[in-house]
Structure 1
Amino acid sequence: MCGIAGLFHFETVKPVDPKRVERMTDALAHRGPDGSGVWTAPGVGLGHRRLSIIDLEGSPQPMHSADGRAVIVFNGEIYNYRALRRELEQGGAVFRTDGDTETILAAWQKWGPDCLSRLDGMFVFALYDLERRQLFLARDRLGVKPLYLARLEGGALAFASEMKGLLAHPLMRRQIDPLAIEDYMTWGYVPDHRAMLKGVEKLPAGHFLLLEHGREPGPPRQWWDVSFAERERGRTEDLSAQLLHLMREGVTSRMVADVPLGAFLSGGVDSSSVVALMSEASTAPVTSCSIGFDVESVDETRHARQVAELFGTDHHERIVSADQFGEIDRIAAIFDEPFADASALPTLRVCELAREHVTVALSGDGVDEAFAGYRRQLFQMREEQARMFLPSALREPVFGALGRLWPKADWAPRPLRARTTLLSLAASGEAGYARALAILAPEQREPLYGETLIRERGAYRAEQPFEKLMREAPARSGLDRAQYADLKFWLPGDILTKTDRTSMAVALEAREPLLDHRLIEFAARLPHRQRLRGNTGKWLVKHTMERYLPEDILYRQKQGFVTPLAEWFRGPLAGEARAIASSELLTGSGWFARKALSRLADDHIAGRSDHGRVLWQLLMLERSLRHLQPSA
């Protein structure tokens, strides 16, 4: 895995100072400690930091094509590069290296932008064609790898794998976008359609940009999308056989590496499935890594150990304290933008453990989104069924009124916490699912805002682009639309961002074999009953893996990494909770109401309410603002 950065002058062709590109790439040194390089030409500069995975000595970057007409910097892996290389060689292409980077160059020269559909992998790359005088920026189908973009004074576009690469440029402005605060307070992260700083964008997943000197950049163009509009037909066992074949292909293709390789193992269905298929394909024991906690109720190491013993893996585990709040400032620096998914803390820990033993680790990311493994997807399907029988003229006044009157009972058993469900049933399917996914609904975040943020935000609400995405999804049902939004919005913004930043922070390459695009496309065509059956999500995956995994692994309740936020803010972080209300970065700016934040902290510490997630959200925002506005 690597980090890339660069500059492109689209107005006037000006010399590019290689020192500036070098500064940008140096800010990404953690992504690539094994090598660095900078290349410049009139109007363009490309920089690279390398973590050597394939062709360890023979593929330095920036890399020129064999004929010298194109140059590339590339972050990622192309898993089918050997087959692609053979095809290109038959067409006359000449290769000087044994890696995948040169294959992209040759594919571009033969097919142009259409080369993207032939690439199987995770990637972001910047390719400059000296003959056409074009810069080609591209991102993989599902957004496994990130790319930030920013326009600079003087008609230049800067780009980098992380925002810290952009911040290393002296002309980069650091003005906070108030709409990003609205997005962040809703979702707990800044989605891909926005960035925390004004003037910064993210190249969307499955999109590319083709830039030319002397021409204003146009919007990114989409080159891939997933469709839920068709349905796969066939008997369950036939579909199961197809699924197993695709899962095997996804895993085995991602086991190609010239460095030690292993897997994350939580003991859940997804990571256990990856380890099972790796063990099947490997002649040597698979290296597996698990992290546990010193609080038994949130510790899953016994399940991971059960799977490790079943497949005879070379297993490594580490028990850490649940009190990981000492990493707050480090997490803020790793992510640049505010990121409130508290599972980033244990994810960083398991990446650190894995890096002690391997350079590449396979994860189980993506199965919940693609195969309906989240409880919210089950509830969405059932709520959509209810909406079909109850007209909106009845739902809004009845369920809306009940939802507004129902108390927000954080302390009550789950069945009695019906407020979200009632308010969701009163709304459209899109609005209801947005409410299910959001950390804070509009009526919860609005009282926290100060006059400045309310004025600068205007009529914008964070739910608007999400609901639009669902409405326009290539889908046939409410469940389809929910899963489409999870794959296009939640997955790149939260899950893949978390995995990329925490793994790259320790120079570990994380690969997602169950996000193989053919597997995702297959999942999108499955009938509902193959995804959800009764209360069981990921049904076909679990049915298929019964030949490998025991029932208590496949069908136990999903847990995931748990971080005790509520306890932290009533204990060791109580002072931090109270300090939030007096933060000049939050309240002095007029973005948040001081009294509302103070009441939030007091109610939580006193045990009257559970505001642990919101306090964590505000704390991470405050720390990120310190990072993004160091002079403040």
Structure 2
Amino acid sequence: MCAIAGVFDLYHQADIDPVLLQRMTDIQRHRGPDQSGMHREAGVGLGHRRLSIIDLAGGQQPLFNEDYTVAVVYNGEIYNFQALMRELQQFGHIFRTHCDTEVIVHAWEQWGTRCVERFRGMFAFALWDRKQRSLFLARDRLGVKPLHYAMLDNGHLLFASEIKALLAHDQLRRDLDPLAIEDYFAYGYIPEPRTVFKQIRKLEPGHSLLLRHGSAPAQPRPYWDVSFTPHHVISPAQAADELIERLREAVRIRLVAEVPLGAFLSGGVDSSAVVAMMAQESAAPVNTCSIAFDDAQFDESSYAHLVAERYATRHHIQRVQQHDAALIDRLAGLYDEPFADSSALPTYRVCQLARQRVTVALSGDGGDENLAGYRRYRWHLHEERLRSLLPLGLRKPLFGALGALYPKADWAPRPLRAKSTLQALARESVAAYFHGISIMKDEMRTQLFSPALKRDLGQYHAVEALRRHAAACPARDPLSTIQYLDLKTYLPGDILTKVDRASMAHGLEVRVPLLDHTLVEWISGLPPALKLHGGVGKYLFKRALAPYLPDNLLHRQKMGFSVPLADWFRSPLASRLQRSLSSQILADSAMFNMDYVQQLFQQHQTGRRDHSAPLWSLLMFEAFLRQWQESPEQYAERQAA
């Protein structure tokens, strides 16, 4: 895996500062510790850091075509590169290496901007065409690999794998975006294309951006979407068999590497399925890595051990201790913007463990979104059935009033915590789903935000991030709609971001078979009843995996990859949390009602309310603010160190 960075001058052909370009590149050294490369010519500069996986002797970047008129810097893996190489050779293209990177420059020459439609894999790249005086940026379909860009006032476009590289430029404005802050405290992350900085954007998954010298900046364009096109009549048994074969093939093509390879094994269905397929495709025992917790409610290591024993893997376990919260500042530096998924802690540790033994690891990410594994999907469909019984005009006042009167009971069993359900029934479908997934509900954010921040927000509400995608959703059934929303927001913004930054911090490449786009397209066309059936998520997947995994693993209650944050905040982390929530930096930001911040803390300490998610989001935001206040020079020096 790699890091890319660069500068493109849209209006002039001035030299790009080599010191700046080197700094933007080297600040991402963790993503590519093996080699560094740079190319500059009038009006453009490309930088690259390499983690060598395929064609270790060749494949240095920037990489050029035969006459050195096209250059690319690239982060990712194109798994069908050998087939594309053969096809391009038939058109007369000459290859000097055996790596997938060279396929990109020749595919550009052959197919232009449509080259991305031919690539199967995970990628983010920038391609410079000297003849056309153009720069082409592209990101893979599901957003496995990141790409950020910023348009400066002087006409320079900056791009990089991580935000920290852009922040090294002293002409980049570092103003925070209040809309992104609203998004963050609603979702726990900032959905594409927004970032916490007004001037920086994420290139959305499945999008490309073509810029030409002398022309005004263009807008990103989509080249792919999940279709949800229904299959022809197919029996459940046939679907199960085909699902296994498609998964097996997606795993097989991800086993190509010239370095040690392994897998994450959480003990859940998805990672266990990937390991089962790997074991059948590998001649040698699979290297597997797991995380364990002292708290049995969060510990899946015994299930991981079952799979490891069944497939005779070389299994390694690391226990996450409570003092791991010392990683808070490290995580804030890794993610470059506020990021409130606390499972980033164990993810960081499992990546660290894996890197001690392998350079490439396969993961099971994407199965919940593809195959309807989240429990919230079941709750949403149940609520949808109730919503269908009454029109919104009647539901809104009736259930709105009941939701306001019903007491909040975080301590009670789920069926008795009816306040959230009543509030959801008073809303339309997308707003109800937003209400269910928000880490801080509307009323909490209203109390948390200062009058100044509310003025800056105007009429903006975080639900708009979902509504934008819902309007473009090709599916009409309720389950497919919310799966589509998660594939567009939660998957790239939270899950894949978490894994990318944690793995790249250790120079580890993570491959994601369940997010092979051909597999995602095929699964999307399955009937919703084969995904969520009789209250059972991943129904077809579990049926298909019956010959490969034990029943007590397939049919146990979903646990999720999380940490015992609520308890940590009441004992070992209480003092650290209180220091952060009382910090002058948080108060001086003038964004928050500090009395309400302390109220959240006190209510959590009594044990009657579980505010662990809102408190963690505030903790991580405070850590981000401390780093944001550094000068570009201080930031660059600390990141380089």
Partner of 2:177: 177
C-alpha contact (below 8 Å) 2:208/2:222 kept by paired residues: yes
Partner SS state of residue 587, structure 2:
helix
Does the CA contact (< 8 Å) of 1:471 and 1:481 recur in 2?
no
CA contact (8 A) 1:260 1:357 kept: yes
Q: Give per-residue Cα distances to partners, 1:572-596, cap 9 Å, x unaligned.
A: 3222333344333322222001111
Alignment of 1:155-304 (within 5 A): 155-304=155-304
**Aligned twin of 1:77:** 77
Tell me how far 1:293 sits from its aligned partner.
1.5
The residue identity in structure 1 corresponding to 2:161 is S
- Name the CA distance, whole Å, in 2 between partners of 1:82 and 1:446: 54
Q: What does residue 388 of structure 1 align with?
A: 388
The answer (yes or no) to whether the contact 1:152–1:171 under 8 Å persists in 2 is: yes
**Runs of at least 5 residues in structure 2 that lack an aligned partner in the other structure:** 635-641
State the alpha-carbon separation in 1 of the partners of residues 460 and 89 from structure 2: 52
Distance in 2, Cα, partners of 1:40 & 1:252: 38
What is the match of residue 535 of structure 1? 535
Query: How much does 1:418 deviate?
Result: 1.1
Q: Following the alignment from structure 1 to structure 2, what is the Cα–Cα distance between the partners of residues 466 and 108?
A: 33
Q: Secondary structure at the match of 1:124?
A: strand
Q: Is the 8 A contact 2:230 2:527 kept in 1?
A: no
2: CA distance, partners of 1:531 / 1:572: 41
1:114-129 matches, within 5 Å, as 114-129=114-129
Secondary structure of 2:6's counterpart equals: strand
**In structure 2, distance between residues paired with 1:507 and 1:139:** 20
SS in 2 for 1:8: strand
| Structure 2 contact 71–127 (Cα < 8 Å) conserved | yes
Q: Where does residue 491 of structure 1 map in the other structure? A: 491
The aligned residue for residue 96 of structure 1 is 96
Question: What's the CA shift for 1:472?
Answer: 2.9
Query: Could you tell me how far apart the structure 2 residues matched to 1:228 and 1:419 are?
Result: 33
Deviation sequence 1:301-328 (CA, Å, 0-9, x none) = 1111110110111111122314421111
Q: 1:408 to 1:471 in 2, by over 3 A?
A: farther
CA contact (8 A) 1:430 1:471 kept: no
- State the alpha-carbon separation in 2 of the partners of residues 294 and 568 from structure 1: 12
CA distance in 1, matches of 2:297, 2:425: 33
Aligned residues: 632
Question: Which residue of the partner structure matches residue 133 of structure 2?
Answer: 133
C-alpha displacement at 1:170, in angstroms? Answer: 2.0
Alignment partner of 2:536: what SS? coil
Kindly provide the CA deviation profile for residues 440-499 of structure 1, in whole angstroms up to 9, marking residues without a partner as x. Answer: 121121101111101111110111121231233111211111000000111000000001
Deviation at 1:13, TM superposition (A): 2.2
- Tell me how far apart the structure 1 counterparts of residues 558 and 225 of structure 2 sit (CA, whole Å): 29
Q: How many Å apart are 1:533 and its aligned residue?
A: 0.9
Q: Any conservation in 1 of the 2:399–2:426 contact (CA below 8 Å)?
A: yes
Mapping 1:195-594, distance limit 5 Å: 195-594=195-594
**Aligned residue number for residue 112 of structure 1:** 112
Which amino acid is 2:67 matched to?
A: D
In the alignment, is the contact (CA less than 8 A) between 1:323 and 1:568 conserved in 2? no
Whether the aligned pair in 1 keeps the contact of 2:10 and 2:212 (CA below 8 Å) is yes
Measured after TM superposition, the shift of residue 298 of structure 1 is 2.0
Q: Which moved more, 1:578-587 or 1:386-395?
A: 578-587
DSSP-derived class of the 2:255 partner: coil
**Within 2, Cα distance between the matches of 1:543 and 1:471?**
33
How far, CA to CA, are the matches of 1:33 and 1:59 in structure 2?
15
User: Which aligned pairs between 1:14-29 and structure 2 lie closer than 5 A?
Assistant: 14-29=14-29
Output the TM-score relative to the length of structure 2.
0.97
Deviation string for 1:4-40 (max 9, x for gaps)? 0000011222211122111001110000000001101
Amino acid at match of 1:470: A
Cα pair 1:332 1:623 within 8 Å, conserved? yes
Task: Give unmatched runs, 5+ long, in structure 1.
Answer: none
DSSP-derived class of the 2:537 partner: coil
Does the aligned pair in 1 maintain the 2:322–2:572 contact within 8 Å? Answer: no
| TM-score, length basis structure 1 | 0.98
Q: Quote the Cα distance in structure 1 between the aligned partners of 2:322 and 2:405.
A: 36
Is the 2:322–2:568 Cα contact (8 Å) retained in structure 1?
A: no
Q: Within 2, Cα distance between the matches of 1:513 and 1:607?
A: 41
SS of residue paired to 2:201: strand
CA distance in 1, matches of 2:253, 2:73: 23
One-letter amino acid of the structure 1 residue matched with residue 120 of structure 2: D
Q: 1:433 to 1:464 in 2, by over 3 A?
A: same
Q: Distance in 1 between matches of 2:193 and 2:510?
A: 24
